[in-house]
Structure 1
């Protein structure tokens, strides 16, 4: 059967498309109403849609078989798409885990350096290091030894150290958007650590490098 679209028109009020298809030998014409605006569909799609309705009216069992075949094709296509999505999701999860491991190592290095109060970091390196650590996420529960940062808006930079401070969690802790001042009570109780940049300690001159006292004894008479 070689059917062609003879006529198609969309009725906006009824939200249906009237489609007429024609076959020359033997001559046959079928008209059906399809839901929605189908005027942009390919002619082959419209012909098949009309024929499916005709088959349903003339041969219910045959129409069901034909429709089932089309549905099977759609299901198979959907399954292929789902399989591809799952494969991409798994690949993305692997990459995300690898990235997270790298970030965990970076965070650990930053933690080790920031907490080394005997050898404070250069202020600009401190600033860049803390910019690599995520800001606190509201609603996230942090586990012991995990870290995050907060902005200390009241802080005035003096050495390019930035405004971020590092929070180290000592017990499971759910961050609820507390400010730095509000976290001070937890800091006092030892539940969290708050690390800010501090100036290096000034070294006191040792006894060996101290300037000797001026001799006051009189020289013996010649």
Structure 2
């Protein structure tokens, strides 16, 4: 049975939608941006299912968040250009810039949380996925001061790739830190900055695969003993 729209309710800038199906019984309630009360049930159901799939797939969620982030940044640039063109729209433009900056910060936090959860949780199956994830986090800038819990990335020329994970390493900072060109090895296990609590490197770790041992086949053949034939008895004919 296909999903049915059970309820949809518009609230400020959001439409709360509930969909369900009976076999197997499945029930989702999600908030969709904007007013979707006039949309067809099929379109609403598809929007809810896409949101659910994004929540279950970290890589997909990051791709969507990155797209939203780029879209928001484009709006910021557009609004800043309008701000320079006219003084009369100063207040309205300032409000729009502020709203878009808040959106940028929000999607930046989403990317931070999903990347850290996927890498630190060791749920990445392929090195290429690790590479895509860490490339969403900017490379550290010399002279820039970072705050506790910030994520940065460092290129590690000495790193030997095992599955196309690239040479960029994810670093999680534990306290305020000004980057002055320190190598990724300083944040590795037992490295100088890892030991003093500044931060730690999260390198790609291939997932272990358990292989069942092959069944041992005996190559020793069992041969049944040969039964000895009875001796031949010679009978002398009567004379």
Give the TM-score normalised by structure 2: 0.49
Match of 2:71 in 1: none
Match of 1:120 in 2: 124
RMSD value over aligned CA atoms? 2.7
The answer to whether residue 206 in structure 2 is matched with residue 199 in structure 1 is: yes
1:99 equivalenced with 2:104 (yes/no): yes
User: Does the Cα contact within 8 Å between 2:186 and 2:194 map onto a contact in 1?
Assistant: no
Instruction: State the alpha-carbon separation in 2 of the partners of residues 167 and 112 from structure 1.
Output: 13
The structure that has the greater radius of gyration is: 1
TM-score (norm 1): 0.52
- Equivalent position to 1:134, from 131, 135, 138: 138
2:158 & 2:219 partners in 1: Cα distance?
53
Cα contact 1:113–1:121 (8 A) shared by 2: no
Seen in structure 2, the aligned counterparts of structure 1 residues 193 and 98 have a Cα distance that, compared at 3 Å, is same
Does structure 1 conserve the Cα–Cα contact (< 8 Å) formed by 2:154 and 2:184?
A: yes
- Match of 1:168, SS? strand
Separation in 1, partners of 2:102, 2:179: 23
Partner of 2:50: none
Q: How far 1:219 moved relative to its partner?
A: 5.3
Pairs within 5 Å for 1:143-162: 143-144=148-149, 146-162=150-166
Give matches, 1:158-173, under 5 Å: 158-173=162-177
Offset of residue 86 of structure 1: 4.3
Residues 121 and 171 (structure 1), Cα distance of their counterparts in 2 relative to 1, 3 Å cut: farther
- One of 85, 88, 92 as aligned partner of 1:87: 92
Structure 2 residues not aligned, in runs of 5+: 1-85, 227-239
The alignment partner of 1:135 has SS state of coil
Q: What count of residue pairs does the alignment treat as equivalent?
A: 137
> What residue is the counterpart of 2:113 in the other structure?
108
Distance 1:135 1:93, change over 3 A: farther
Q: 1:211 to 1:130 in 2, by over 3 A?
A: same
Runs (5+) with no aligned partner, structure 1: 1-79
Taking the aligned partners of 1:192 and 1:219, their CA distance within structure 2 comes to 69
Moved over 4 A (4+): 219-222
